[in-house]
Structure 1
Amino acid sequence: MEQAKKECCPTFDSEKWDGKTFKWDHKKFIKASVPTLFHIPLPPMIGKKITKMVKLAEEAQKLAKDEEDILLLFMDPNAFKSDIFLSVTGTVPNTKNTTLSGTFVSKVFDGPFNSVPKFMKQMDSYLDTSGEKAKNYYVHYAYCPKCAKEKGHNYMVLFAEVKD
């Protein structure tokens, strides 16, 4: 009897994220960082870091039950560091616990990883129509590189923090 192949990344529903506004009040995350070279991380490093974060959250039973509700956000505070935020449902031992609060506007984009700066400019134009300005950007990649290639889409959700 053949076992069903477990899907690596859940199918992405863009309607859930495109053009939405979220008000987060101390939304729980665990945080880790990886070095980058001009915003380009070393792929094996990211995979190992994310695997470790997910394992810690699962062991603590603090990972969302529905995979579609799990956010993995990336934010580059500078050209040589990327912060990774994994949404959790409570405190996770042996890692850095943090929260995000504020108003976040999201838009979905589809394209290569190196298009993020172009997508940020498009997001700035989108925000201008409502008189908003982004203070910070966080990026959620809907698919890992392998799944993006298999599915033919590299969806990403830009979350623009517009208010504290």
Structure 2
Amino acid sequence: METNAVPYYDISDRPTQCCPRFHPDGWEHQDLHFRDKLFAKASTRSLFHMPLNMGPVFKKTFTAIHDAHGALEDTTVVLSREVSPWRADHYFLVDKPVPGLKMERLTGDFITRVFEGPYRDMSKWEKALADEAIKAGKTLKGTYFFYTTCPKCSKAYGENYVVGFAEVELPLDQDV
């Protein structure tokens, strides 16, 4: 996939009027290459990895992005990374800086994997991502997860898709 591109995500398919219905086609086993890709960053508090204030933080962040006309036209991607049992960082893909939000640029190479199931399977998904990186001959640097729908929407749709992004170090002889 070309540098700084992400797979297509049809955000117009929203029967719940909340989260778009996620279609995993095109997201499984992708090689993504980010070079200074712009994100708005927000953090949430957790209690042993269980989010405590995700709803209000996401609402505030999405409102700021919307008000600044900073959202990408055809996709919504939020990469989440557990920093500790007490905090998670979330990276909201934007197309321009958003006033009042911390902005961060991500540079790295990623492989993706689509998972479906309950959030309690997170440790299995992390292991599967690590195994995938090793199988591809790459070194795992870290993991991010894209929770494609909120819990209410995943219940309404009957599926809980989560896309794992394994940040990898490419072998020296592999070109991007």
Same fold (TM over 0.5): yes
In structure 2, the partner of 1:52 is: 60
CA 127–5 in structure 1, closer or farther in 2 if over 3 Å, else same: closer
| CA RMSD between the two structures | 1.6
User: Which residue identity does 2:73 align to in structure 1?
Assistant: K
Residue number among 137, 142, 148 corresponding to 2:148 in the alignment: 142
User: TM-score, normalized by length of structure 1?
Assistant: 0.90
Residue number among 79, 87, 90 corresponding to 1:81 in the alignment: 87
In structure 2, the partner of 1:39 is: 49
Residue number among 71, 74, 78 corresponding to 1:63 in the alignment: 71
Where do 5+ consecutive residues of structure 2 fail to align? 1-13, 171-176
Contact map agreement 2:42 2:102 (CA 8 A) in 1: yes
In structure 1, the partner of 2:124 is: 118
User: Which residue identity does 1:115 align to in structure 2?
Assistant: D
Q: Distance in 2 between matches of 1:6 and 1:34?
A: 25
Find runs of 4+ consecutive structure 1 residues off by over 4 angstroms.
Answer: none
In structure 2, the partner of 1:21 is: 31
CA 6–78 in structure 1, closer or farther in 2 if over 3 Å, else same: closer
Q: Distance in 2 between matches of 1:115 and 1:12?
A: 19
User: TM-score, normalized by length of structure 2?
Assistant: 0.84
Secondary structure of residue in 1 paired with 2:98: coil
Q: Distance in 2 between matches of 1:52 and 1:63?
A: 14
In structure 1, the partner of 2:102 is: 96
Q: Distance in 2 between matches of 1:6 and 1:113?
A: 21
Q: CA deviation at 1:133?
A: 2.5
In structure 1, the partner of 2:9 is: none
CA 92–115 in structure 1, closer or farther in 2 if over 3 Å, else same: same
Q: Distance in 2 between matches of 1:13 and 1:51?
A: 23
Higher RCO (CA < 8 A, seq sep 6+): 1
In structure 2, the partner of 1:160 is: 166
Which whole-Å deviations, capped at 9, do the CAs of 1:60-109 have from their partners, x for residues lacking one?
A: 1110112xx21111101111111111110011001101111110111000
In structure 2, the partner of 1:10 is: 20
Contact map agreement 2:144 2:164 (CA 8 A) in 1: yes
Aligned residues: 157
Q: Distance in 1 between matches of 2:87 and 2:98?
A: 23
CA 5–122 in structure 1, closer or farther in 2 if over 3 Å, else same: closer
Secondary structure of residue in 2 paired with 1:135: strand
